[in-house]
Structure 1
Amino acid sequence: MFDRRNFLGSAVAASISHPVGAQALKAVPLPAADLHGRDEDAYWKALRAQFLIPSDVVNLNVGTVGSSPRPVLKAIFDGFAQTEQMTQPGSEDYPIWGYGSWDQYRRPFADFMGARVEQMAILRNCTEANSYVANGCDMKAGDEVLISDEEHGSGEMPWMLRSRRYGVVVKKFAMPKPPKDAAEILNRINDAITPRTRIIFVSHISTSTGVVLPAKEIAALARSKGIVSAFDGAHAPGMIKVDLNDIGCDLYTGSMHKWLFATKGTGFLYLRDKSIMDRVWNTIATGGYDDPTRMADRYMQIGSSCIPTLMGLNAAVDLANNIGMDRIEARGRMLCDYIHAEMMKRGAEDWTSPDPALRGAIATVNVPPVQRMELQDWLWTHHKVRIRGGNPSKLRLATPYFLSKADIDRFLGLYDEFRKIKGIA
């Protein structure tokens, strides 16, 4: 039986013996800007020290959730310490967002993503943003949305809800496993388009396989046929360099808590211009939702939310800019190529792509007869190595910049050991 008093007592005792807050707020210097050129391993090791992840833990599952580093945590904690004093200068100022435009938090992230502030709405997660798209676009019964067979539940289910309520048709095309090149993906999308297709909604980076889809080419294809292009970019910010206005899509959603390592509870919706905003209804509404002069800001009118999360977002953007997205992307791709090649040597079936251009920092492989959950539980319970994938035998291996080759080699050695234990040749 749950004992609330004992639980609370244990929590207090734990906070005294393990002062996590103090540890998180402890300043650890960032590496010098020129260290990367002098000693690359030392540079990435210094950045690893920004994360609270214990040194004996290997996290190959940033694809589910990232770990906020010290600068982000400090910004969050400082934000609460500041806002909860309730000493805001104006009599109508309060420590919440969801009613104002908050450009000081929108603009840094918009700049980071190659967008303008008036195109960017900061929301609470990618699911909320995807629901805006699916529920807000004007469509009638029989109209089609074209999605891939690899969409995350938060991308697919809003459309399934729309289908059940209003008769919108959800049509899927099969992603190649693996795609040999970008043209193969484009051809499958083009072949699945019908006269009833109104929206193409696909992931920029597949949560299932890690394939980096040719977003710019897909957007151009949609535009040539008068179809709205929308992307679920949950994995893109912080993994690869993104320029939304260069991609040329109509709508783009995403999360900041994965590869950008921002606060949990931050997501976004990008809308290209007023013409697309006029076609997407707000599905959460409070005062200001219907003011077209507010542009993307009107999709932020969602009620009380938490300002310190946005302070943490600014710190995450600052850290990524300090490192440089070109450097982050190159690091993630290098580690991904390494773990991908090593798993191929071990006879794994490639589900990402043999084309390095279609890989970012996720390599997905199929490894029958290894049972994914059995391996996953064994790795974490006995060896503090986190992975994820899909049943029965799919492994999704994420390679954030703070990992080392030694971390990957540790996983590979344990994978080999597990196969021996199970008698798998």
Structure 2
Amino acid sequence: MLDRRSFLGSAAAASIAQPLGAQALRGVPLPADDLYDTDEDGYWKALRAQFLIPADVVNLNVGTVGSSPRPVLKAIFDGFEQTEQMTQPGSEEYPIWGYGSWDQYRQPFADFAGARVEQMAILRNCTEANSYVANGFDMKAGDEVLMSDEEHGSGQMPWLLRSRRYGVVVKTFAMPRPPKDAAEILNRINDAITPRTRIIFVSHISTATGVVLPAKEITALARSKGIVSAFDGAHAPGMININLNELGCDLYTGSMHKWLFAPKGTGFLYLRDKGVMDRLWHTTVTGGYDDPARMADRYMQIGSSCIPTLMGLNVAIGFANSIGMDRIERRNRMLADYIHGEMMKRGAESWTSPDPALRGAIATVNVPPVQRMELQDWLWTNHKVRIRGGAPSKLRLATPYFLSRADIDRFLDLFDQFRKMKGA
């Protein structure tokens, strides 16, 4: 039972949430496609209005989490309204996900990512998918997995757990900081391979530095030596064009809630062919997991989940397709190149490659003696600008397409102000 204070707190929360929900459901027209040709800045400004992020907030941290635009939110809200009526036509149909193949949600993302539907499992996040990969292969004590020293915890920790339990060796190579070209990365991987290397597991785009690794070439190197190739693609979908079958890798994991702006709780596992699927043991199982005819669908048999989230995912894919991934990638890269160049003028040390081909929409710079956490808190608390990075002085600056140069200039001016204030 709620006491008066709890009730008033709940009522206050409802009064705050209600206008936001109404605003999200209220349609804001998408920009006409021909506006891009006549007024490109106006086109991106009109797309900015699709996001609920207040006009005075600058989000340079899409690398952690994106913001779903209005059409995606509407699809989620409508999905809950539809499914929670419990009027599904079949007597065994319910608003949960866990036993069907749900091709209507797998197919759009498979098309978007350059895969076939039978190769794609939609999961809840990249961490879950990475755990499937780390837990799935038969390996003996002393067998090695090779990864970079820039892997995210959700890619690294599943392997470290397996190492502690079963003696699998986690071997790392040092990423060049920054890499001058793709060959420098490939050479370091090649030099770290031993006769005991069974899997190469690396990020497609480094979460630490934003470097876009040469995935196709890494895959070819692995295949030439009979090694499984697996990529953590948490940052790739929605940031750059991806075609998984063209890459040729054996496995690829990722998230849709960052750069694709899909609902939180959407991730995926791609498996190249039946030979890979037949070798990968499951981590979470329920009925249907052991039917080989179901292909990648077997890895989605994880029990109940959330259909409205998948409805939102489909709309997020349609939203990106309506803009065009070529436009999105070009815009993302242009903004990253701009902020990177401006930080170089300010004496920053680049941890992102000087080669624009190895940089997507994340520019990472080192700015000693500025303390990253102090700057991060000051920017957000006082000026509503979000950044992220690492101790002590690393800044990771993510540039989604809806940002303007004025947004970036605002951050740059504040960075200059902070340095002056600290006498740095």
Bin for the TM-score computed over the shorter chain: over 0.9
1:411 aligns with 2:411: yes
Task: Name the SS of the counterpart of 2:364 in structure 1.
Answer: strand
How far has the Cα of 1:19 moved from its partner?
A: 1.3
One-letter code aligned to 2:9: S
Q: Quote the Cα distance in structure 2 between the aligned partners of 1:83 and 1:328.
A: 33
Change (3 A) 1:111 1:14: same
1:155 aligns with 2:155: yes
Task: Name the SS of the counterpart of 1:230 in structure 2.
Answer: strand
1:336 aligns with 2:336: yes
Partner of residue 130, structure 1: 130
Matching of residues 351-362 of structure 1 within 5 Å: 351-362=351-362
Cα shift readout 1:66-104 (whole Å, capped 9, x = no counterpart) = 001001000000000000000000000011112110000
1:12 aligns with 2:15: no
TM-score calculated relative to the size of structure 1: 0.98
Partner of residue 67, structure 2: 67
Partner of residue 398, structure 2: 398
Change (3 A) 1:16 1:352: same
How far has the Cα of 1:11 moved from its partner?
A: 3.7
One-letter code aligned to 1:300: M
Cα shift readout 1:177-225 (whole Å, capped 9, x = no counterpart) = 0000000000000000000000000000000000000000000100000
One-letter code aligned to 1:28: V
For the aligned residue pairs, the C-alpha RMSD in angstroms reads 1.0
One-letter code aligned to 1:154: S
Partner of residue 28, structure 2: 28
Structure 1, unpaired ranges of 5+: none
Partner of residue 234, structure 1: 234
Q: Quote the Cα distance in structure 2 between the aligned partners of 1:7 and 1:134.
A: 44
Q: Quote the Cα distance in structure 1 between the aligned partners of 2:4 and 2:121.
A: 42
Task: Name the SS of the counterpart of 1:229 in structure 2.
Answer: strand
Q: Extract structure 1 runs of 4+ deviating beyond 6 A.
A: none
Q: Quote the Cα distance in structure 2 between the aligned partners of 1:357 and 1:136.
A: 33
Partner of residue 252, structure 2: 252
How far has the Cα of 1:5 moved from its partner?
A: 5.8
Q: Quote the Cα distance in structure 1 between the aligned partners of 2:164 and 2:13.
A: 47
Matching of residues 164-243 of structure 1 within 5 Å: 164-243=164-243
Change (3 A) 1:222 1:19: same
Partner of residue 313, structure 2: 313
Partner of residue 84, structure 1: 84
Task: Name the SS of the counterpart of 1:19 in structure 2.
Answer: helix
Change (3 A) 1:55 1:270: same
How far has the Cα of 1:10 moved from its partner?
A: 2.4
How far has the Cα of 1:138 moved from its partner?
A: 1.2
How far has the Cα of 1:6 moved from its partner?
A: 3.1
Cα shift readout 1:40-73 (whole Å, capped 9, x = no counterpart) = 0110000000000000000000000000100100
Task: Name the SS of the counterpart of 2:239 in structure 1.
Answer: coil
Task: Name the SS of the counterpart of 1:176 in structure 2.
Answer: coil
One-letter code aligned to 2:322: N
How far has the Cα of 1:410 moved from its partner?
A: 0.1
Change (3 A) 1:31 1:174: same
One-letter code aligned to 2:92: E
Q: Quote the Cα distance in structure 1 between the aligned partners of 2:87 and 2:271.
A: 35
Q: Quote the Cα distance in structure 1 between the aligned partners of 2:283 and 2:199.
A: 18
Q: Quote the Cα distance in structure 1 between the aligned partners of 2:144 and 2:330.
A: 38
Change (3 A) 1:173 1:344: same
One-letter code aligned to 2:378: W
Partner of residue 100, structure 1: 100
Q: Quote the Cα distance in structure 2 between the aligned partners of 1:148 and 1:210.
A: 13
Partner of residue 302, structure 1: 302
Change (3 A) 1:8 1:339: farther
Task: Name the SS of the counterpart of 1:191 in structure 2.
Answer: helix
Q: Quote the Cα distance in structure 1 between the aligned partners of 2:287 and 2:12.
A: 44
Q: Quote the Cα distance in structure 1 between the aligned partners of 2:423 and 2:373.
A: 17
One-letter code aligned to 1:374: E
Partner of residue 345, structure 1: 345
One-letter code aligned to 1:6: R
Q: Quote the Cα distance in structure 2 between the aligned partners of 1:5 and 1:108.
A: 48
Cα shift readout 1:269-324 (whole Å, capped 9, x = no counterpart) = 00000000011001100000000000000000000100000000000000000000
One-letter code aligned to 2:193: I
Q: Quote the Cα distance in structure 1 between the aligned partners of 2:6 and 2:199.
A: 49
1:364 aligns with 2:364: yes
Change (3 A) 1:333 1:5: farther
Task: Name the SS of the counterpart of 2:279 in structure 1.
Answer: coil
Task: Name the SS of the counterpart of 1:189 in structure 2.
Answer: helix
Cα shift readout 1:126-173 (whole Å, capped 9, x = no counterpart) = 000000000011111110000000000000000000000000000000
How far has the Cα of 1:15 moved from its partner?
A: 2.7
Q: Quote the Cα distance in structure 1 between the aligned partners of 2:204 and 2:7.
A: 43
How far has the Cα of 1:7 moved from its partner?
A: 4.8
What is the identity percentage for the equivalent residue pairs of Structure 1 and Structure 2?
Answer: 85
Q: Quote the Cα distance in structure 1 between the aligned partners of 2:182 and 2:35.
A: 36
TM-score calculated relative to the size of structure 2: 0.98
Q: Which moved more, 1:8-17 or 1:394-403?
A: 8-17
Q: Quote the Cα distance in structure 2 between the aligned partners of 1:296 and 1:91.
A: 27
Task: Name the SS of the counterpart of 1:278 in structure 2.
Answer: helix
Structure 2, unpaired ranges of 5+: none
